[in-house]
A and B are shown apart, each in its own frame.
Chain A
Amino acid sequence: MYQFVTGPLAWLAFGVFFIGLIVRTVLYIKGLNWKMDRVTYGVNTKYGVKGAFRSVISWILPFGTHGWRSHPVFTVITFVFHLSLLISAIFLPAHNYILKQKWGVSLITIPEAVGDIMAIAVMIAVVLFIIRRIALTEVRIITTAYDYLILLIAVAPFVTGFIAYHQFFDYELWVILHILSGELMLIAIPFTKLSHFVLFFLSRIQIGMDFGIKRGGMKNSGFVW
């Protein structure tokens, strides 16, 4: 079983993940239309690129925008959640060990203890996200079951990984569950809202180009996000 989930199934999951994201990117770009979007992506592109940079950079920095600054608590939770998720998924020693075994490559790694803290951080963040969804009327009204499902898919690998790592229950079983839930997330990314993994950047680049080219970027020192 372990061989199967770390072998063919892992290949499948990574394949779907990478190919899926490439397809989403290509489809997004192909679906841009200068006339309908009313942005000349191909004319005055220099301003568009500048606008795109401002748009992406401002928003990937914690507190880099008025939006982040006006929601400080949510901003901290959001950044802790996303950074912990990404860093622990990529740089955990155990993940790199498998990488090395299978493909002979390995990245730099973070200490196990840090990974453990990050897993806890992700789980706490998800709990806070859920509380927020229930407690705040402005979030409750737009929340659907799908939003909870997405949170579940994102947190599952951390819950199972945490249980396996600390060997609270049957290690063998929970490792397999951990791997399966990780693979489920990879597969879900291109097909669900989790596609914001790439679409966040594409969408920010698009709106950045819009403001950079058409909505004033050629007249001032750049939009203040």
Chain B
Amino acid sequence: MAEGKLCNRKPINTEEELKELMADRGGRKYYEEMESLDVDQDALWSSIRKTFLSRLKTWIEICARCGMCADSCFFYLANDKDPTQVPSYKIQSTLGEIVRKKGKVDNEFMRMTMDTAWSKCTCCNRCAIYCPFGIDMGVMFSYVRGLCFSQGFVPWEMKIGSGMHRVYRAQMDVTTEDWVDTVEFEEEGIEDEYPGMKIPVDKENADILYTLNAREAKHYPEDISEAAILFNLAGENWTVPSEGWEETSLTMFAGDWEGCKMQVENVYDAMDRLKPKRMVVTECGHAYRATILEGPYWAGLKSGKTPIESIHYVEWVAEVLRSGKLKIDPSKKIKEPVTLQDSCNYIRNGGLREVTREIMSYLAEDFREMTPCKDHNFCCGGGGGLNGIGRYHKQRNAGLKVKRDQILATGAKFVIAPCHNCWDAIRDMEGIYKIGIKWSFLKPLLLDMAIIPDHFKPEEE
């Protein structure tokens, strides 16, 4: 059965393979090879028979074809109500067909399925809450991505992302040494400004184990400093692990379930090794979803929970502001109108709508909700890995319109986005549509507003 050198059914497991794939700029050769990649129909069907169980089967079967899910999907709205963007249509014309044809589908069909699974669905799960039967296309497209991945029909960047996790246990090529070096460098930086502040690495029995997104280590190290300063200001007994510090999972976006397991086990091992009381995850939505909500299932943990209690950064922020461990200078509260982007992964799918509002009550004088918001909020437009896939930039940019209009309708020009994906999508939206907005994570805002205890102030000379 024909497979390409770059585009094939084998996941990437070595640095060498990874470099070779990355050298193919934009995936030109990769996508060319994809056009003649054979579908292993037997493997496809046997995998469906093992994994397509009652809940998915029922969803495909009983869909009443009522169309109530249509306008729940931001892609449908952003594309002038294009009927091919109706969630039910998208899944029935892909997964539905594969199942009805018992896996007997060809290359062209699989490429169409790939394009649908990654460019027409961000797995935001919003349609699930508008369907009378609770049919969840986010869950099903995630399943479809798994089928596509196993057959080698996966966007170039996603194949790379999966390979990164397999090789480095991080979504980017950040080795353990790189990571520890970065931490040390950042620690020196903050010590200059706040004498005595530390970034403890591999400290055992800490109250908090802090884990993050490799982008912070690679491109935004200031985020690590900010987190460190805030933990210190709040007087936390905290640490970062030298291994198992990466929370994100491009493997989840890629549908690489084996890679997902490898990645989260790396983090769970750090928990076992360092025995902290709790883990706090940075301001990232999918990282929380992957490692805290879905991860235990990939790792086969029967409790459905991570080995130690794990919370999202927003939960920690609400906690320290509530308790007064971190004090805000009231005169520095945000005065201009400000709105909040609810990340699908920890608001709709993680139940954190209430703590985020609590935070806003401490930080903002004129907080404006988007409509709809909380559990019903729309995806930023860049979820599910879509931000990072060159092949689908046009589709991504079109999808951003819904969020753009939601933001404009609030009248606020400032958006708080405690999620890397949302943050990127909003940044790109401003770049494309130029609506004159600012956006921010929580950390820099908190740092601006926080009251610095005397013992961290530089000594007067």
Using Cβ atoms and an 8 Å threshold, which residues of chain B touch A31? Answer: 53-55, 57
Bound Cα distance A80, B354 (Å)? 36
Would you give the shortest CB distance from A113 to chain B, in whole angstroms? 31
A43 touches B88 (CB 8 A): no
Bound Cα distance A151, B360 (Å)? 50
- Interface of chain A residues 17 through 35 with chain B (CB within 8 A): 27-35
Asked if B61 lies at the interface with its beta carbon under 8 angstroms from chain A, I say: yes
Asked if A108 lies at the interface with its beta carbon under 8 angstroms from chain B, I say: no
Asked if A220 lies at the interface with its beta carbon under 8 angstroms from chain B, I say: yes
- Interface of chain B residues 110 through 155 with chain A (CB within 8 A): 128-136
Would you give the shortest CB distance from A69 to chain B, in whole angstroms? 10
Using Cβ atoms and an 8 Å threshold, which residues of chain A touch B133? Answer: 196, 199-200, 203-204
Asked if A216 lies at the interface with its beta carbon under 8 angstroms from chain B, I say: yes
Asked if B380 lies at the interface with its beta carbon under 8 angstroms from chain A, I say: no
Would you give the shortest CB distance from B86 to chain A, in whole angstroms? 5
Asked if B409 lies at the interface with its beta carbon under 8 angstroms from chain A, I say: no
Asked if B434 lies at the interface with its beta carbon under 8 angstroms from chain A, I say: no
CB contact under 8 A between A202 and B297, given known A37-B53, A67-B130, A139-B66: no
- Interface of chain B residues 247 through 261 with chain A (CB within 8 A): none
- Interface of chain B residues 29 through 67 with chain A (CB within 8 A): 51, 53-55, 57-59, 61-67
Using Cβ atoms and an 8 Å threshold, which residues of chain B touch A213? Answer: 304
Bound Cα distance A133, B88 (Å)? 14
Binds B, one of A140-148, A157-165, A168-176: A140-148
Give the size of the chain A interface in residues (CB under 8 angstroms): 58
Bound Cα distance A77, B81 (Å)? 23
CB contact under 8 A between A144 and B352, given known A31-B54, A40-B304: no
Cross-interface CB contact of A138 among B59, B62, B81, B354, cutoff 8 Å: B81
Would you give the shortest CB distance from B457 to chain A, in whole angstroms? 37
Give the size of the chain B interface in residues (CB under 8 angstroms): 55
Would you give the shortest CB distance from A132 to chain B, in whole angstroms? 8
Bound Cα distance A189, B52 (Å)? 23
Asked if B182 lies at the interface with its beta carbon under 8 angstroms from chain A, I say: no
Bound Cα distance A203, B83 (Å)? 25
Using Cβ atoms and an 8 Å threshold, which residues of chain A touch B55? Answer: 31-32, 37, 203, 206
The chain B residue sitting closest to A42, CB to CB, is B302
Asked if B202 lies at the interface with its beta carbon under 8 angstroms from chain A, I say: no
B130 touches A66 (CB 8 A): yes
Asked if B266 lies at the interface with its beta carbon under 8 angstroms from chain A, I say: no
CB contact under 8 A between A144 and B134, given known A138-B83, A206-B55, A215-B351: no
Using Cβ atoms and an 8 Å threshold, which residues of chain A touch B59? Answer: 203
Using Cβ atoms and an 8 Å threshold, which residues of chain B touch A30? Answer: 54
- Interface of chain B residues 333 through 360 with chain A (CB within 8 A): 347-355
Bound Cα distance A195, B62 (Å)? 7
Cross-interface CB contact of A215 among B63, B81, B349, cutoff 8 Å: B349
B53 touches A141 (CB 8 A): no
Asked if A166 lies at the interface with its beta carbon under 8 angstroms from chain B, I say: no
What sequence of 0s and 1s flags, for each residue 167-211 of chain A, a beta carbon within 8 Å of any chain B beta carbon? 000000000000000000000000001011001101110111000
Bound Cα distance A36, B71 (Å)? 29
Bound Cα distance A27, B129 (Å)? 25
Bound Cα distance A140, B66 (Å)? 9
Cross-interface CB contact of A140 among B81, B83, B132, B297, cutoff 8 Å: B83
B134 touches A203 (CB 8 A): yes
What sequence of 0s and 1s flags, for each residue 82-93 of chain B, a beta carbon within 8 Å of any chain A beta carbon? 011010110010
For A142, A147, A195, the residue with the greatest tally of chain B CB atoms inside 10 Å of its CB is A142
CB contact under 8 A between A139 and B67, given known A67-B130, A203-B134, A220-B351: yes
Asked if B68 lies at the interface with its beta carbon under 8 angstroms from chain A, I say: yes
Using Cβ atoms and an 8 Å threshold, which residues of chain A touch B294? Answer: 38
Bound Cα distance A136, B67 (Å)? 9
Bound Cα distance A207, B141 (Å)? 16
Using Cβ atoms and an 8 Å threshold, which residues of chain B touch A199? Answer: 58, 62, 133
Would you give the shortest CB distance from A205 to chain B, in whole angstroms? 9
Bound Cα distance A35, B55 (Å)? 12
Using Cβ atoms and an 8 Å threshold, which residues of chain A touch B206? Answer: none
Bound Cα distance A220, B356 (Å)? 11
B375 touches A141 (CB 8 A): no
Residues of A within 8 A of B (CB): 27-40, 43-44, 55, 59, 65-67, 70-71, 74, 133, 136-144, 147, 193, 195-196, 199-200, 202-204, 206-208, 213-221, 223-225
Residues of B within 8 A of A (CB): 51, 53-55, 57-59, 61-68, 70-72, 76, 81, 83-84, 86, 88-89, 92, 128-136, 293-294, 297, 300, 302-304, 347-355, 372, 374-376
Which 9 interchain pairs have the tightest Cβ spacing?
A216-B351, A31-B54, A207-B134, A40-B304, A219-B351, A139-B67, A138-B70, A141-B83, A38-B297
User: Can you report 8 residue pairs joining A to B where beta carbons are below 8 Å apart?
Assistant: A31-B55, A33-B53, A35-B297, A66-B376, A71-B68, A74-B68, A218-B351, A225-B129
